[in-house]
Every structure is written in C-alpha cells, then in structure tokens.
Structure 1
Amino acid sequence: MNISTIDWLKEIEDIANLGVYDMDLTTGTWTGSDSLIRIFDLPVKAQYTAEDFQAAVHPDDFDDVMAYYHECLKSRDYFNCVYRAIRTDGKVIYVSSKSRIFRDDNHIAVRILGIKQDITKQKTDEIRLKQLNEANEQKNEVLTMVAHDLKSPINQIKALSSLLKNDASDAQKLLLDILEDASDNALDIIGDLIEIAQLEQDIRLKLTNININDLVLKSVSFFDYNARQKNIRLKKSLSEDATAPIHRAKFKRVIDNLLSNAIKFSPEGETIKIKTEKKQGVVKLSVKDNGIGIAEKNIPKLFNKFSTLRRQGTKGEKSTGLGLSIVYEIVKKHNGEIFVKSEVNRGTTFTIKIPSV
C-alpha cells in the first residue's frame, strides 16, 4: 500500500484527534488542517481570523488564555496550555494547545505553528477520578466518625452484660456470654474499618530499615499457642538478611494477619511455612498453608473490603473479613506487591514483595 506523506499525516491527526494550524501574525490570519476544522466544528474557509480563534475560547477561560498568549508573544518561543473551547454546535471541549512562535531579526513574533488536540475524554476522566477520590475521602471520614461513635455504646453493652452476670442464672449467663462475644466481634469489625479508612488516606508512612526476620520471629512466637491448639507446626525458612524500609507496626500487622489466617483455615496437624528471601533489590515474604484453599473465581475479591467472602476457620474461628484488605493497603503503602496462589482443599500461598532500598 503506497500512502503519501500528507495522507500519513492526516491519518495521524485523526488517530490522535488533533489538528494543525499556521498563523501569520503580520496579517492576523491563520489556516488549519481539515482535522482542526472538524474538532472545532468551524465553517470551511480559506483563511480564518484571530477573532475566529478567540470566539471559540470558553468565556470562563478567555482572560487567562489571552493573558498567557500575549505573555508568550513577548518573551517565549513556545505556547503550551489547556483550556476549554465552545464549538459552533455548542459542545464544550477541552483543548491542549502546543505551538512554536517564530520571530524576525528584530525578535518580533511573526508566525505561530502548532497543534490543537481534543483531550475532552482524558480531561473528563481526570475530573471524574478526582471526584471519586474526593467522594472516597468523604466516605472514609464518615466511616471513621460513625465507627468511633459505635464503639462507645457497644462497650457500654459489654460492661452492662458483665454486671448482669452477678445475679444471673446459668441460662442467663450463657445468653450474656453470647452478647459479650457479639460485642467483641462488632468492636473488631469497627477497629478494622477505622484502620482501613486511615490507610486509604493519602498519608505516607514513616519507613525505617528493619530486618523483617525480626518481625516474623515475633509473630511466630505470638501465634505459637494458637497453632499448638490445632497441632499445627510453624516452620520458618529465613534468609540471613531481609532488611527493607518498612513501618514496623504496620508491617507486623501484615505478618500477623497472614499467619492468623493460615492457622485459622488450616486443619489440625498441618504445617505452615513462613519464608523470607532477599535478592535483586527486593525482599520477599511468603506464608504457605495446606488449608481449605480459595476458589480461583474468588481470588480477585480477596482484598475488597466490601467483599462477602467471610468464612469461619476449620474449628469455627471467626473472621471480620477485613484482614486481607488491611494487608493490601499496607503493602501498597510500602510500594510493594502481593500475590496469591491457591487451590481448593490444597492450600494457599500469599507472597509479598517490597523494595529493599
């Protein structure tokens, strides 16, 4: 297929949704490519005036655009800006204008050659994303406020239940135990919701170089009793050095959540393997169990805090269903990645990779 250079340029203009223009500043007239005329929905003419261009600029952006334009004519060689324009059919579009200013021997601007690109979709997506982020921040603020407000009455219920046990019958004490257990579970959920809301805020964690092995050993020691209750062996395979910039408390929370889940969803008598390694600027932590596993279709939903994938452990252990959401957010704050490999009734492996520098 033999295509001329001009045809290629027209094709590129259409693909990029942009048009080319050439302005003669000595006459105040300009010409534009077919694509430019289409973008602005202009009537076809041999030449256009500066007023034709000015008429297309959105009134709310007009003063800023013209001030920048005149500033560039005085002292700059390039004109780059984004503004809103109104087509002749009334449609508002976002335009990215990038131009080169040519000057004569007296440094007077005589010509502008440039492109104008319709970036309406890109800009609309940016605005929508900003609105979603703002809405998410507002949602987190409300969530945190409501969660804090709920903690007080639930704690009061717990305290009242404890007092009522003094004069309660055995049957009543059993009911009060159930009420206290439900209150504890509600407080756990509230605590997790508050933590997720805080993690989703645009706040950087203060990271310090710490050997992750030290945190693994502490977690293993802490969960050793839970594991022994199910005759589960915690097997460690730690590299000599697993130092990385981390937030000690937050990353300890990651290890605790993964280890707690592995114990919770493993049958009695199994082995859980915790491994660290460091190579090529990355520290890798993995927790592998031989538990009940996760269906492949459910893996993408694991880190969604609104997921309904809440299951009891192999001995009826309860779960808020929010632990992995917390893990995911903390790993993100460390510029890391988390991977899941699982097979139903064969077990699950969670692997975390974070930069070591």
Structure 2
Amino acid sequence: MSAPTLPRHGGLCLVPDGMQPAEADLLLQNVVARRSNDEVLERYITTRRVRWRAGTIRLRELQLRRFAEELLPTPLVEVSEDQVLEFYGRLDLKPESMNSYVSALRGFYGWLSVKARPKVRSDDPTELLDRPSVPRRLPRPVLARDYQLALACAMSNPVMYAWLALMGCSGLRCCEVAWLRSRDVEIRPDGSGLLHVTGKGGHVRTAPAGTDLMIVLAPFLEARPDGFVFVRPSDGAAHTPDMVSQTVNNFLREIGVQATAHQLRHRFGTDYHQLDPDVFRQAEVMGHASVDMTRRYSAVTATAASRYVEWLTRAQLGTTAERVAVREPGPRPASGGGSRRPGRGRS
C-alpha cells in the first residue's frame, strides 16, 4: 500500500512509512494549518505594505509566525481566546517586547475580524490581552563632548557631518535623513529653513533647521535640486534608513564614541528642552504623537532644575529659614519622672 499523501504548495506531502496513525494524522493537520496560515498572513501583510516600513513588516511577520507555529495544528483563523492567553502567558520577555507582541496579535485579529474580505471570523480572540506596564525609560543622549568630537572628526566628510547635524540639531530620525528630498527643504528669508520630512509610518512633519545647518546642506541641494539630498556614490540611489543608521554607528565607534545614531536625536531633545520647556511644542518639533514619548528624549539635568528648586524653596522658606538657622540646639531634657512630652498637658 502506498503512503498517504496530502496536496501542498508545489507538490505532495508524503507520510513516511512506519509512522503511527496518530503521528501521521498530526503531521497532515500541521501541513494543512501551515498552508492556511501562509495564505492568510500573505493577505494581511499585503494590506500593510503601504503603511509599514520594511523593518516593521519583518518584525510583525516573525512574531505572527512564531505564534502560529506554537499553536499548531490549530490554524490562525481558528485560534481561541484561551489559546491566545496561554501563548501570552508563556512569553518570557521584557515589557517592551511583550507590548510589541500584543500589538502584533491585536492588529492581525482586528484586521481578521473587521477588515478582511472575504470576512474570516466575527470575533477577536485578543480582546482579553492586557498590555504590561512599561517602566519609564530614561533618555540616553550622547554626551555633549562626544557630539562635539564627532562633528570635529567629520569635518572632512561632508555627508557624515550633515547627517550628524541633522540628527543633533534638528532631531531627524535615520529614516528622515535617508528619505529627505531637495524639494522638502524650504529656505526662509532669514537663512534658516524648514524640513518637511517623511517619518515613521509615512507621517509628514516639519522640522526647523538653523542657518548654520542650511549652509551645510546648500551644496547638496544645489547638486540635486530635484532628487534625494543624499545618494549612494555607487549607483546614485537613495540610502536606506538601515544604511544611514549603520554608517553613523560605525563612524561613532571608530572615533571611540560609545553611542548610536538614535542617541543624537536624544541629544537634540535634551538640548531643546533646556531652551524651551514647553513639551507640547517640542512634541510637534520632534514628530511625537504623545508628550509621554517626548519625555523619553528629554533628559533634565539637576543643574538645569536647580534654579526652579531655588525659586520654590525661597518662596516657601524665605521668611523663616534664617531665624531657624541662628538657633543653637538646646540640651535634651533628662529622662526621669519629672520630664514630660512637649505639647501634652497634665491630665
């Protein structure tokens, strides 16, 4: 008797001779589930390609495929709430990573239950998932002296100098540097500029640029008035965000600076906040949807806060502190039957 077979992409799935019926049945169920998962994931990812960056697509597909493999032989379209909760309970990750998995699962099943056509299911098995509380992360700006060192070392490399300046003086992300076009740069009458950049998720924001930064950008704008501001020497194509990030990271490492390209954006957020404490305006400048995100980029030093603490303390203690300070502490009352606690009368 020939081995049982099951159609699959590109041919037949052969069950090995001698396999127990239960094992063969599970193998065939897994093949069917994987084929179903491949189809529905391809449909889902296709609908997201316009909105998501390549890195986001890779991450979400990796997360959803891990989820799908752990739930075999149940296909994704038939997963129950209990299975989702059991998977979530097995994850042993940092809160940020747990949140990322919640976003991946909610996004997928939200699409599956509402937007997928033809409609696959009417319920959302992720409704009971709770996001873990994420501890507030402290800002990680590159040290001011290290930023100045990087700028000095990049003076013979105009492209690197411009990238460092855009990140540290206008707060641009690596993707915004890579995708910056000459037509996105608006030159103002006073010599400063406005950068109409395309950021995460395809959102467009406007970042101010100082006059010195505009002087640095001028040769690039003149050389390519209709294209990308920065292109690869090898083929004239635009840089990718990953390429910008890796190139800056390698440059910093080579000069002995232990920091990343993204920490230059933290440097901008910190420096800007010390000059303008309005976090709502800063959120607009940095392209944040929430001021909570802006706070992650703005390190408030004790030195910068000391003048505000001084004002507060003077208002509260200014009329009494000196009179308290001139008093000499008196001797403690001796213990014994004649002593009594202050503020208590005889009964």
Tell me the TM-score normalized by structure 1: 0.21
More helix by share: 2
Tell me the TM-score normalized by structure 2: 0.22
Q: Give the number of the structure with larger relative contact order, counting CA–CA contacts within 8 Å between residues 6 or more apart.
A: 2
More strand by share: 1
